[in-house]
Structure 1
Amino acid sequence: MGIAAFYKDCVEALYENLGGQASVTAIGHISHSQKDYEHGRLFSLYEQIDHKVDFIEQELQHSEQPIVLVGHSIGAYIGLEVFKRFQNKIIFFVGLYPFLKMNKSSVTQSAIGYIARSSLLSKLVSSSASLIGSLRPSITRGIVRRFLGPSWSVTAVDAVCCHLLRYNTVRNVLLMAMTEFQKLTEEPDWTFIRAQEEKMAFLFGVDDHWGPLSHLEEISKHAPRVTLSVETEGHTHGYCCTEAGSVWVADYIAYLIKNQMPVRNN
């Protein structure tokens, strides 16, 4: 999900884990928010990549501080593309539960792709989400809680109610999904991954159709010096939707950062 609010717990835990000595910024996707600042415009995967590049150029390009880039799901693919453009600024990249190529055996991906390719179905799903989001807040929250279950954190439920259940957000999610699925029929850029393998780490889940363990094996084959890990604590691809998952992943990221770039005392 490209809604930065989902990662609030993880970002705060990571900041604390690094002793408050690092700047931690979550960059969401453009037009994946409560307010439709882009007036209904839809953004493709490629435009979302450009959005991240523009942010780094505007906010971080003149900073002397090295950058550790972290991407979750399709954000891992986006992160690799951003890494290509800032190879002398980014010192390490972490891909969390990465979505780097299509999984032909995934029923979920097939269903999302079918909806995303249909303008009519995309509008219908977006309108339905918007309708739920327009109800009295207590009713919307009750529906979301009932549908998602008790394990979801307050932060994640708030993100769904405030940002996801909006017509413009869901339309952009589906348009982006369509362009993702078109692009990710291709193989990852193994040449780049191999060239930067000592500056990369990927965390996979045990049962994750977005990033199955077969993809971990492919990375290991093409770029054997990439740091590869498998999370076995019972968290899921949507780790950011639970407090426990957010804290566990923050600890994992902090461990990698401290090993790659020790945080100095003031």
Structure 2
Amino acid sequence: MQSSSAEVTMMESQNRKRAPAWTEREVRDLIAVWGEESVLSELHSSFRNAKTFVKISQGMKDRGHNRDPKQCRVKLKELRQAYQKTREANSRSGSEPQTCRFYDELHAILGGSATTTPAVLFDSFNGDGGNTEAGFGDEEDDDEEEVVDSSQQASGETSFPDSQELFLTLDLEPVPPEPTQGCLLDPAGGEGTSESTRPGSEEQIPLYEEFIYCCGAATQVLKCGPWKDLLETESKTLPGLLFLIIPGNPGLAGYYRTFIRALYHGLNGQYPVWVVSHAGHCKPPSGMGMTEDTDIKELEDVFGLHGQIEHKLDFLRKNVPKDMKLVLIGHSIGCYITLEMMKRASELQVLRSVLLFPTIERMAQSPQGKLLTPVLCKLRYILYMPVYLLSFLPERVKTSMVRFVLRGLKCPDEASIVTSLNLFSVDCVANVLYMASQEMMKVVERDSTTIKQNLKKLIFYYGVADNWCPQQYFEEIKMDFPDGDIRLCEKGIRHAFVLDASREMAAMITDWVQDILTRL
């Protein structure tokens, strides 16, 4: 028996009400589809554009998401309204600057460049042009409120699993954002000491993503907190401390998205928390190359291990005030880089360095190093062709492959799943493997001199079953530095903690640094 028209309508309405929250990955992909020239052209030129939203829905399916045309239209309208609200707030004289989730991406579509606004397109989205809201004012508006999208409450991180074992400092046993899509207005300054600037939940935390050239190499930076540019921030609102994360390898900033959000939340929003990727450990956006086309001579080997150290120092020189106090948090090979930074630039105002699962000695002799050194140093080139071929697969197939690899994790961090898709880029993988090969050859002797000179500033955190820095290394450094703050994990956290223990690690670090925070 066929269902009546009324029954079908009721079922569709119930399905819309049960629509799952939009993940960050979905929203970013939706904006990307929306920003395609052909889609914008259709929305701008047609009042009745149901077919265009079918096209957008299909574009989402091609990227591995299941969103019907109605859901896409309503979500795009929400994003547009949030952008308009932010623009209007910023246009009022005397008001503090504000932003919203995905503001830069939305501004590229709705607002043009930073100094000019394409009036026709922007007006059309306001309903003043020939096309009401560029296609958002069609006949479906009447039932728009039927769609109950739990993402309207800014539900949180998206998903991209850390490939916990695809490479190097991530574990090799089988297992598997960015800002939330809610477009909540972000607080605009200060140290977060007032209740109004303290994040109510992790999902409300402002997070900015930038792709820049540093030492001539493409670099991704994620910034938690309202301070987008510390060099331009007025002294009265300048934070007293910056937490900077130096990643492991692969050094993709996205793996630490959940971690920096949780850490910022644990710090009550009082201090910015940034993570800077390794040089070339990213997939640059369209129009940006892996290296900068310039006549200026940069580092000859910026993608190598020692080039990565200079890369981080150069980032600090160009983006952080000289007198800014720092808490450096290194992970895996990031710990080696952190110690080298403190050695090479003693003028840095480092109050504390937290070294998580530190690969600071005898990497090639570690259990994992013995297995991978021959591959990384002699056979890594044969991996490039499979990666190149896999790069042509649809996004949904790549995502399924990543989830399969990480299937052993009970609660994989979705942000790391999304980030792992960058490892289907040959350029990115080549930089990851090249740096890894140098780690095997150059990380040999522990730098006990630098450790001794900075012992009171250092916290070491070793894993019990870590195949990159085994417990033997912990016991030996503990014996050599009995007065040092050298800890052994008793919680079973894996070397690649970003896969499933970011919040737990952030909570511990928040507790560890309370002594320096009380002295500020």
Question: TM-score, with normalisation over the residues of structure 1?
Answer: 0.89
Number of the residue aligned with 2:273: 24
SS state of the match for residue 234, structure 1? coil
Output the aligned Cα RMSD.
1.9
Partners of 1:46 and 1:125 in 2: CA distance: 24
For 1:58-73, list aligned pairs within 5 A. 58-62=318-322, 64-73=323-332
Partners of 1:116 and 1:132 in 2: CA distance: 20
Select the residue among 374, 395, 415 that pairs with 1:114: 374
Query: Which amino acid letter does the alignment assign opposite residue 216 of structure 1?
Result: F
Higher relative contact order (CA 8 A, sep 6+): 1
Closer/same/farther in 2, CA of residues 254 and 10 from structure 1, 3 Å limit: same
Query: Which amino acid letter does the alignment assign opposite residue 513 of structure 2?
Result: I
Residue 3 in structure 1 maps to residue 252 in structure 2: yes
Residue 87 in structure 1 maps to residue 340 in structure 2: no
For 1:75-224, list aligned pairs within 5 A. 75-88=334-347, 89-103=349-363, 106-118=366-378, 121-149=379-407, 151=409, 152-161=412-421, 163-185=422-444, 187-224=445-482
Measured after TM superposition, the shift of residue 230 of structure 1 is 1.6
Select the residue among 292, 303, 306 that pairs with 1:43: 303
Select the residue among 217, 228, 238 that pairs with 2:486: 228
Q: Name the % identity.
A: 28
SS state of the match for residue 202, structure 1? strand
State the number of aligned residues: 256
Closer/same/farther in 2, CA of residues 110 and 42 from structure 1, 3 Å limit: farther
Residue 14 in structure 1 maps to residue 273 in structure 2: no
Partners of 1:128 and 1:196 in 2: CA distance: 44
> Is the 8 Å Cα contact of residues 5 and 159 (structure 1) preserved in structure 2?
yes
Measured after TM superposition, the shift of residue 61 of structure 1 is 4.0
Select the residue among 282, 293, 314 that pairs with 1:54: 314
Structure having the higher helix fraction is: 1
Number of the residue aligned with 1:259: 515
Query: Which amino acid letter does the alignment assign opposite residue 25 of structure 1?
Result: W
Partners of 1:3 and 1:130 in 2: CA distance: 19
Which shows bigger deviation, 41-50 or 151-160?
41-50
SS state of the match for residue 518, structure 2? coil
Measured after TM superposition, the shift of residue 222 of structure 1 is 2.4
Q: Encode CA deviations 1:99-146: one digit per residue, 9 max, x unaligned.
A: 01125654431332212222xx32321332333333101111111111
Closer/same/farther in 2, CA of residues 51 and 169 from structure 1, 3 Å limit: same
Partners of 1:255 and 1:166 in 2: CA distance: 38
Q: Encode CA deviations 1:195-245: one digit per residue, 9 max, x unaligned.
A: 111110011111001111221222222222221112222220010011xx1
Closer/same/farther in 2, CA of residues 233 and 59 from structure 1, 3 Å limit: same
Q: Encode CA deviations 1:154-189: one digit per residue, 9 max, x unaligned.
A: 11110101x22211111111111111111112x211
Partners of 2:487 and 2:367 in 1: CA distance: 25
Partners of 1:66 and 1:92 in 2: CA distance: 9
Partners of 2:338 and 2:302 in 1: CA distance: 21
Partners of 2:366 and 2:450 in 1: CA distance: 27
Partners of 2:274 and 2:519 in 1: CA distance: 17
Residue 250 in structure 1 maps to residue 499 in structure 2: no
Question: TM-score, with normalisation over the residues of structure 2?
Answer: 0.47
